[in-house]
Structure 1
Amino acid sequence: MKVTLTDDARRYLGFFEEETGAVAKDCLVYDDRIVLLVAAGDMATAIGPGGRTITRFEDRVGRTVDLVEDADTPAAFVESALAPAAVTHVTISEQGSRVAYVEVDEADRGVAIGKGGRNIETARKLARRHHDVEDIQLT
C-alpha cells in the first residue's frame, strides 16, 4: 500500500532522522503528538542513552512523540504498534478483509486502547497503511 505523507509529516520525518540518526518510515501528526514509525532495529538509536535523544527531539518540536518499531509480518507489526501493552497473541484473519485479533493481558487492556481510544486507532491506521490490516480487535 502506498503511504501518502503531508508536508508537515515529511518535515518531521526529515528533522527526526537528522536529529536522531534513526530511520523513520512514516509519520502521523496530531494536534498534541507525533507518531513515528521507526525502521526495525533503529529503536535504540531513536531513543538514545537514557532517552536523551527522543527527549531532545520532543523539546525541539514542542510535542509528545510516540515511537512504533516496524516489523516484517502483520502480526509482529500489530504487537509493536500496541506496545507497551502486553500482547500475548495475534491472529490475522484472511477471510474477507484482513483483521488482526489480539489477545492482550487484562491488566493492559486500557493501555492498548488508550485515552479516548487513541492508541488502538493509531495502531489501526498504521497497520492499514503498512500491512493492509483493515481492523484490529482486542479479544
Structure 2
Amino acid sequence: MPISAIKARLPYDAATIWRIITSSDDYRWRSDIARIEKLSDKQFMEHTHSGYATLFTITISQPFERYEFDLENENIKGHWCGLLSERNGQTEIIFTETVFAKKWYLKPFVKTYLRKQQSVYLKDLRQKLLETVR
C-alpha cells in the first residue's frame, strides 16, 4: 500500500488548526471538495466537484494532537493520520495517508495522486489560516 506524508510548521496554534481540519461544516476553503455531508458523529461523506463520494469514518480524535480516519470510495480504501504538535506559538503538522487502489490499473498512480492531494490540501489550509487569523 502506498504511503504519503506531508510535514509543515505553521505559525498558528494547534487549536486553530484543529478547528479547521476537523470541521464538517466549514469546508469551502477546500478547493477539491464540493460539499461535505455529515452522516453521524463518527462518519462523513466528501463529494468532489467531479462527483466522487468518499466515506470517512473517524477512528481517533484527540483534540489538538491527533485525528485519524478510515476512508473509502469506489477506487480506493485507506487510512489518514493527522498529528499536531504545538511549540513556541507554532504547530508542526504531519499528515500521513496510506491508500490501497481497488482497481489494478490505478495502482501505478496512487502515490502521485496522494502527493498531489496532500499538496493541494496544505496549500488550501495555509490560505484558510491566513484568512482566519487576519
TM-score by length of 2: 0.35
- Greater RCO (Cα-Cα under 8 Å, separation 6 or more): 2
The structure with the largest strand share of the pair is: 2
